A and B are shown apart, each in its own frame.
Chain A
């Protein structure tokens, strides 16, 4: 039997960078094949080529024994390849059925044939053990269910080869298990699955074969039984994997931030933070674990003064800051690493040096005589941040949009760390950056903590939370449901608290 997919000598370069350099990959029919690699190793580019989103500069693509050349995803879909993107693309105000057929509507004399669609959907769902009510509105679905809809969408279009781009990034451990059950079921029905991930334990648990990419090249294809997570990590980074672990405690008695019975609502007025209280000390990292959408964002923005506080109080460095405007809070020494750097953290069209002063634009050294922007000092500061925090860009005058995600993140971390802070609110500080940059950010956080910085750390990376935090809170539906000691908790145990599975 022919292999499902053979990629031979794929090379793809973008201006100034070679994303894929003579990549070879063979995916056998009916297997789960994991593709591992750091950010920027070329996984996404390779998958975009296979899915017809980008043409390769060189190389051959053979699908089920036939050489193909895709000019758009439409061609790839016709060849039986489907892709489940990392970010779900569902229309919230449509039902599951409508979302599934969107763009591939079965019609009868120009009218959508909902009955045929429904029958086909049921058929697909039953065949692969993917159950979901086709009449549910997409907005009412949980993350795991949304992902299932995305998979059904792809199967509905007749895909025999599924590409899943970091499918577990948004899931908690329990949902990951559910996903894996579904994937095994799909494999049992003869589907081929290409699975992009960089969580090694997951890869080892699910994959039949693993191909590791490093800097655009295929390093090795291995079987999970032959390697350990450590081996894989070394293949990925070419050296030993860093760990987030903090060593000795630097927690002091001095209270920096005190949140008492805090309530806050989202923009629509739905209560999101419901009676949160905690105390953060100088030199302490307080981790907040929780499935996304359980009030973390609103908690962070309430502390920063962006979201209004409904009731309760926030004290910072001995002062009641509950009613303070954002600027006063930031000037008092509260730093912010936002969860979404493009949304809250950067002015994309603006140059590096202007982004370096964002959030500190009223303070020394960026202003002189309280009114004028000191371009020279600001440029110098930005250059120093670039050097100290290894932000790789041609210069301080380059637009931030041109930087890679990792460099953008390092710029944000650098500008906050180099400011005179007493507390830092860090939301997903290492999201979407590669292992090297990640360990640099961890080092920065640890060093700042040693120097007495108090940090509220929110992260979806449970290893990171457990490794860095001095104390761990779990937030569920806006309430703190557990206060844990990170030295005694496992990611699995934490996952149980996060989903409320301990009740």
Chain B
């Protein structure tokens, strides 16, 4: 047991250290002083405000990674989280802005459910194409990303954008949907944090983090503790054996894609309901792709992904200071994240091989011991 946990922690730790060393070298080569850069980043990153911002970012990354992980558990590669969450957030913002003010719980629930349904439907398309026409999900989800972001959302945003008449609105930079009435906002958790710490300046901790926690718990139980999850994992481990055991491969593929998309639908809602309150051109993109990396780093495990999401979220959030202070370009953090992921994937493979060898050795020993002389 101790050994098992040791293995689980050793790999990501080694990856972090390696990433740290290599990025320090890159900093040195580019003429910056790594010591100043890291100490400034640490000083800025350990501020309460930065940590809260990191948690907000991590919540979105976490949900994105869980959406990817659902696919990974059965060897489906949903690259389409990006398109699914942007389209879902857009539709949810559109629906949310047209209703209310009303009962806040109902209003928020409607917005969340809209996002879930849109995400599920969009990934379901890829699922349908796979089971009926055998189109690989990587291809179909990449294409659906383009259709969602560059096609549907751009078109409808121009068409539905608020303010003055359509033509002039699309010429201004501030194209946005109608704002969501206040009853559809998610409250800030600042009062709770302030109770334990101090006054928080300018930023909010989104209560959306609770949604992320709920998604994580549901994911863990669904995958590990239910029949459905077992079928899913069995299909991932060996689709031929799963089929012989009674799993319907088509149904399971479709279901996994729909579930993945449903979760993906939630990714953008923290920003939408906690901060922006309207879909506009500044809506944060790229979380779907980062989610893939976070899922890899967290090994598709509910807890592991949480650590990974916070680590990446924190690095992204605390790197801004590097440019402000002129220590280094903030892209050093992008390099660092890349190295962490690359190193982690390699380290995991090594650790996995080591663990398999340990098991084989134990199994051989068990056989040996019981052989009657």
* Chain A residues at the B interface, C-beta cutoff of 8 Å: 14-17, 215, 304, 306, 325-331, 336, 338, 343-350, 354, 357-362, 367, 370-373, 375, 392-394, 398-399, 401-404, 407
Which of B230, B245, B371 counts the most chain A CB atoms within 10 A? B245
Residues of B near A215 (CB, < 8 A) are: 371
The reply to whether A361 and B244 form a contact with Cβ atoms under 8 Å apart is no
Minimum CB–CB distance from B121 to chain A (whole Å) comes to 25
User: Which of these binds chain A: B110-118, B192-200, B358-366?
Assistant: B358-366
A205, B356: Cα distance in complex, Å: 42
Residues of A near B365 (CB, < 8 A) are: 16-17, 394
Residues of A near B224 (CB, < 8 A) are: 373
A392, B243: Cα distance in complex, Å: 27
Known contacts A394-B362, A407-B367; is-contact A350 B246 (Cβ 8 Å): no
* Per-residue interface assignment for chain B, residues 239 to 276, with 1 indicating a CB less than 8 Å from any chain A CB and 0 otherwise: 01111111110000000000000000000000000000
The reply to whether A347 and B238 form a contact with Cβ atoms under 8 Å apart is yes
Minimum CB–CB distance from A193 to chain B (whole Å) comes to 31
Minimum CB–CB distance from A94 to chain B (whole Å) comes to 27
Residues of B near A359 (CB, < 8 A) are: 244-246
Bin chain B's interface residue count: 35 or more
Which of B231, B241, B367 counts the most chain A CB atoms within 10 A? B241
The reply to whether A373 and B225 form a contact with Cβ atoms under 8 Å apart is yes
A361, B357: Cα distance in complex, Å: 28
Interface residue B233 (Cβ < 8 Å from any Cβ of A): yes
The reply to whether B244 and A325 form a contact with Cβ atoms under 8 Å apart is no
A304's closest neighbor in chain B, by CB? B244
* Chain B residues at the A interface, C-beta cutoff of 8 Å: 224-231, 233-234, 237-238, 240-248, 356-357, 359-368, 370-371
Q: Using a Cβ cutoff of 8 Å, how many contacts connect chains A and B?
A: 126
A–B pairs, 26, beta carbons within 8 Å: A16-B361, A17-B364, A17-B368, A326-B243, A329-B246, A336-B244, A343-B238, A344-B240, A345-B241, A347-B242, A354-B234, A358-B241, A358-B245, A370-B227, A373-B225, A373-B227, A373-B229, A373-B230, A392-B363, A392-B370, A394-B359, A399-B356, A399-B359, A403-B363, A404-B364, A407-B367
Residues of A near B233 (CB, < 8 A) are: 347, 350
The reply to whether B237 and A15 form a contact with Cβ atoms under 8 Å apart is no
The reply to whether A358 and B362 form a contact with Cβ atoms under 8 Å apart is no
A346, B247: Cα distance in complex, Å: 14
The reply to whether B246 and A362 form a contact with Cβ atoms under 8 Å apart is yes
The reply to whether A373 and B362 form a contact with Cβ atoms under 8 Å apart is no
The reply to whether A361 and B367 form a contact with Cβ atoms under 8 Å apart is no
A350, B237: Cα distance in complex, Å: 8
B246's closest neighbor in chain A, by CB? A327
A372-B227, A393-B366, A394-B363 provided; 9 other pairs, C-beta below 8 A?
A: A326-B243, A343-B241, A344-B244, A347-B233, A347-B234, A354-B230, A358-B242, A375-B225, A402-B359
A17, B360: Cα distance in complex, Å: 10
Q: Which one of B230, B245, B362 contacts A16 once the chains associate, using CB atoms below 8 Å? A: B362
Minimum CB–CB distance from A305 to chain B (whole Å) comes to 9
Residues of B near A17 (CB, < 8 A) are: 364-365, 367-368
Residues of A near B240 (CB, < 8 A) are: 343-344
Minimum CB–CB distance from A199 to chain B (whole Å) comes to 24
The reply to whether A15 and B360 form a contact with Cβ atoms under 8 Å apart is yes
Minimum CB–CB distance from B250 to chain A (whole Å) comes to 11
The reply to whether A347 and B241 form a contact with Cβ atoms under 8 Å apart is yes
A375, B356: Cα distance in complex, Å: 22
The reply to whether B237 and A392 form a contact with Cβ atoms under 8 Å apart is no
A331, B227: Cα distance in complex, Å: 14
Residues of A near B246 (CB, < 8 A) are: 325-331, 359, 361-362
Known contacts A326-B248, A327-B246, A367-B227; is-contact A346 B238 (Cβ 8 Å): yes
Which of A329, A343, A370 counts the most chain B CB atoms within 10 A? A343
B357's closest neighbor in chain A, by CB? A15
Residues of B near A370 (CB, < 8 A) are: 227
Residues of B near A402 (CB, < 8 A) are: 356, 359-360, 362-363
Residues of A near B361 (CB, < 8 A) are: 15-16
Which of A306, A394, A398 counts the most chain B CB atoms within 10 A? A394
Residues of B near A350 (CB, < 8 A) are: 233-234, 237
Known contacts A393-B366, A394-B362, A394-B363; is-contact A306 B244 (Cβ 8 Å): yes
Residues of B near A15 (CB, < 8 A) are: 357, 360-361, 364
A340's closest neighbor in chain B, by CB? B240
The reply to whether A358 and B226 form a contact with Cβ atoms under 8 Å apart is no
Minimum CB–CB distance from B354 to chain A (whole Å) comes to 12
Minimum CB–CB distance from B95 to chain A (whole Å) comes to 32
Residues of B near A398 (CB, < 8 A) are: 359, 362-363
A372, B222: Cα distance in complex, Å: 9
Residues of A near B237 (CB, < 8 A) are: 347-350
A343, B243: Cα distance in complex, Å: 11
Minimum CB–CB distance from B224 to chain A (whole Å) comes to 8
Residues of A near B367 (CB, < 8 A) are: 17, 392-393, 404, 407
A345's closest neighbor in chain B, by CB? B241
Minimum CB–CB distance from A407 to chain B (whole Å) comes to 7
B372's closest neighbor in chain A, by CB? A436
The 6 tightest CB contacts between A and B, nearest first, are A327-B246, A16-B364, A15-B361, A402-B359, A16-B365, A347-B237
Q: Which one of B229, B244, B356, B362 contacts A338 once the chains associate, using CB atoms below 8 Å? A: B244
Minimum CB–CB distance from A104 to chain B (whole Å) comes to 32
Q: Which one of A347, A349, A371, A399 contacts B227 once the chains associate, using CB atoms below 8 Å? A: A371
A359's closest neighbor in chain B, by CB? B245
A394, B357: Cα distance in complex, Å: 13
Minimum CB–CB distance from A361 to chain B (whole Å) comes to 5
Minimum CB–CB distance from A366 to chain B (whole Å) comes to 8
A17, B247: Cα distance in complex, Å: 37
B360's closest neighbor in chain A, by CB? A402
Minimum CB–CB distance from A41 to chain B (whole Å) comes to 12
Residues of A near B234 (CB, < 8 A) are: 347, 350, 354, 358, 361
Residues of B near A392 (CB, < 8 A) are: 363, 366-367, 370
Residues of A near B363 (CB, < 8 A) are: 16, 392-394, 398, 402-404, 407
A370, B226: Cα distance in complex, Å: 9
Residues of B near A403 (CB, < 8 A) are: 363
Residues of B near A362 (CB, < 8 A) are: 227, 246
Residues of A near B248 (CB, < 8 A) are: 325-327
Residues of B near A338 (CB, < 8 A) are: 241, 244
A393, B224: Cα distance in complex, Å: 23
Minimum CB–CB distance from A237 to chain B (whole Å) comes to 12
Which of B226, B234, B246 counts the most chain A CB atoms within 10 A? B246
Which of B226, B243, B359 counts the most chain A CB atoms within 10 A? B359
